[in-house]
């Protein structure tokens, strides 16, 4: 008899039929005698519907009110799932984030979980209830409803698992697990059976999408093993585990392609200490999400700093740069939106210096020009022209032998 936390995403509970489907799956576990805590996202497109209503009223609604609005979505799905279990004769009780004391800071729309008081849930489990908990939401110290930002339900699930010292944490979604790359872009993509927290984190940050990066941080911090798998079949998915528990040592675990970033070059700024700190400090305060950063000195002690930002932050970036140029009385901006970022991630590259060379070689063999390079301990990212992005992804995927065995 184990204590199992399960999380079902929006597509898994997108209709009342799908909710019945999830309830049947839960019943199977329940009938085996397990204790179950089930974290649920809002139904399918309901979040989009709520956002659309808000947008009809105003463009930038107060974040506190957005959280009040958005959190209603999970309230619907947890109630319906509890009903579905009742119909199957399984005792179930739904809870909002506030009811199970998921306490967060007060950063509305991107709040961070600070603590969970698992008492209510433990009590209900003892009475043999399946506990259905609204994902994505919490309350701050003053009782305001907060939400955790995109994909926050994953984090809710992992935090519940940590608070309850759960034996397992299963993340049910609409894909079979974590793939070596997006199967929609590279048909040869292969499902990975195990992946380390650090690798998963890099892939999540690169937009691999299956997991919310904060949930992976949380899982890593508390040593929670995540099982990412499909709610539409019974296949085993991908286990996200400690590095030492990854059996199959691969140089590169996965590769990713990102096309919604823009490359910014800040040119003609004096080669003077503190200027880069000034610029990136401003960007951080404006919450622009800077990814790769590369600096090169140019002629006559003038510097160029290049970096990438999400396209949606471009306007804000321009404003920040203009203020910066005004202060230092020099500088100009070059923006290129026609870029793709291709990354290779793997803990194996820590101890193997040839990975970068292999990757650049694979791209050269395909005549793909590299515009920017950035590396970390377990990741290598390159910027290429957007039209070569997919070809670059395929080349790197192949170079590291990630295809499905034919």
Interface residues with its own copies (CB under 8 A) are 16, 19-20, 50, 53-54, 56-58, 61-62, 64-66, 68-69, 71-73, 75-76, 78-80, 82-84, 86-87, 93-94, 96, 98-99, 120, 143-145
Comparison of 126 and 184: residue with beta carbon closer to its own copies: 126
Comparison of 64 and 282: residue with beta carbon closer to its own copies: 64
- State in angstroms the smallest separation of the CB of 215 from its own copies: 24
- State in angstroms the smallest separation of the CB of 25 from its own copies: 15
Comparison of 19 and 225: residue with beta carbon closer to its own copies: 19
- State in angstroms the smallest separation of the CB of 74 from its own copies: 9
> Using DSSP, how many helices (H) and how many strands (E) does the chain show?
11, 20
CA-to-CA distance for 315 and 317, rounded, in angstroms? Answer: 5
* Pair type for strands 130-134 and 92-95: parallel
Comparison of 144 and 230: residue with beta carbon closer to its own copies: 144
Comparison of 96 and 173: residue with beta carbon closer to its own copies: 96
Q: In this structure, what DSSP letter does residue 224 have? A: P
Comparison of 68 and 290: residue with beta carbon closer to its own copies: 68
DSSP string, 4-59: EEEEE-GGGGSSHHHHHHHHHHHHHHHHTT-EEEEEE---TTHHHHHHHHHHHH-S
CA-to-CA distance for 373 and 64, rounded, in angstroms? Answer: 40
* Pair type for strands 339-345 and 379-385: antiparallel
- State in angstroms the smallest separation of the CB of 22 from its own copies: 11
- State in angstroms the smallest separation of the CB of 115 from its own copies: 17
Angle at the Cα of 123 (from 68 to 105), degrees rounded to 5?
35
- State in angstroms the smallest separation of the CB of 147 from its own copies: 12
Structure tokens at 343: 């990354």
CA-to-CA distance for 358 and 206, rounded, in angstroms? Answer: 21
Sign for the pseudo-dihedral over CA of 41, 219, 2, 138: negative
From residue 259, give the alpha-carbon distance in Å to each of 200, 300, 331. 19, 34, 27
Q: Please tell me the total number of residues recorded for the chain in this structure.
A: 406
* Residues 6 or more apart whose Cβ sits within 8 Å of residue 126: none
Comparison of 78 and 363: residue with beta carbon closer to its own copies: 78
Q: Are 243 and 196 in contact (CB under 8 A)?
A: yes
Comparison of 142 and 287: residue with beta carbon closer to its own copies: 142
CA-to-CA distance for 322 and 288, rounded, in angstroms? Answer: 14
Comparison of 81 and 239: residue with beta carbon closer to its own copies: 81
Comparison of 84 and 340: residue with beta carbon closer to its own copies: 84
- State in angstroms the smallest separation of the CB of 108 from its own copies: 12
- State in angstroms the smallest separation of the CB of 104 from its own copies: 15
Largest separation between any pair of C-alpha atoms in the chain:
78
Comparison of 110 and 217: residue with beta carbon closer to its own copies: 110
* Beta bridge pairs of residue 345: 254, 379
- State in angstroms the smallest separation of the CB of 50 from its own copies: 7
- State in angstroms the smallest separation of the CB of 265 from its own copies: 38
* Residues 6 or more apart whose Cβ sits within 8 Å of residue 197: 216, 217, 219, 220, 240, 241, 242, 243
The three state secondary structure string of 244-298 is HHCCCCCCCCEEEEECCEEEEEEEEEECCCCHHHHHHHHHHHCCCCCCCEEEEEC
- State in angstroms the smallest separation of the CB of 95 from its own copies: 8
């Amino acid at each position: 008899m184990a204590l199992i936390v399960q999380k079902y995403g929006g597509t898994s509970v997108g209709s009342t039929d799908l909710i019945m489907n999830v309830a049947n799956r839960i019943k199977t576990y329940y009938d085996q005698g397990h204790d179950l805590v089930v974290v649920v996202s809002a139904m399918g497109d309901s979040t989009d519907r709520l956002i659309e209503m808000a947008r009809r009223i105003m463009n930038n609604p107060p974040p506190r009110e957005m959280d009040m609005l958005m959190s209603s979505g999970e309230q619907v799905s947890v109630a319906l799932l509890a009903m579905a279990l009742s119909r199957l004769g399984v005792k179930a009780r739904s809870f909002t984030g506030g009811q199970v004391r998921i306490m967060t800071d007060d950063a509305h729309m991107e709040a961070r979980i600070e603590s969970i008081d698992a008492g209510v849930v433990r009590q209900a489990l003892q009475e043999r209830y399946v506990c259905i908990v609204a994902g994505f939401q919490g309350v701050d110290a003053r009782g305001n409803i907060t939400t955790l930002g995109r994909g926050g339900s994953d984090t809710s699930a992992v935090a519940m698992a940590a608070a309850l010292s759960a034996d397992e944490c299963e993340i049910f979604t609409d894909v079979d697990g974590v793939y070596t790359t997006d199967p929609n872009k590279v048909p040869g993509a292969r499902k990975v059976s195990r992946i380390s927290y650090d690798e998963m984190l890099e892939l999540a940050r690169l937009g691999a999408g299956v997991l919310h990066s904060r949930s992976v941080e949380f899982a890593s911090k508390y040593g929670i093993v995540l099982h990412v798998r499909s709610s539409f079949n019974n296949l085993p998915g991908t286990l996200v585990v400690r590095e030492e528990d990854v059996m199959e040592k691969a140089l590169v675990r996965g590769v990713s392609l990102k096309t919604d970033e823009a490359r910014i070059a800040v040119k003609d700024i004096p080669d003077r200490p503190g200027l880069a700190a000034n610029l990136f400090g401003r960007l951080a305060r404006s919450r622009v999400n800077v990814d790769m950063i590369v600096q090169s000195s140019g002629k006559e002690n003038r510097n160029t700093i290049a970096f990438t930002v999400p396209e949606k932050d471009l306007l804000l970036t321009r404003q920040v740069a203009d203020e910066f140029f005004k202060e230092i009385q020099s500088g100009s901006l070059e923006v290129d939106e026609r870029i793709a970022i291709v990354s290779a991630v793997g803990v194996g590259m820590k101890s193997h210096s040839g990975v970068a060379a292999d990757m650049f070689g694979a791209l050269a063999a395909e005549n793909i020009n590299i515009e920017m390079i950035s590396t970390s301990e377990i990741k290598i990212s390159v910027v290429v022209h957007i039209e070569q992005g997919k070809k670059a992804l395929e080349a790197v995927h192949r170079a590291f032998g990630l295809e499905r065995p034919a």
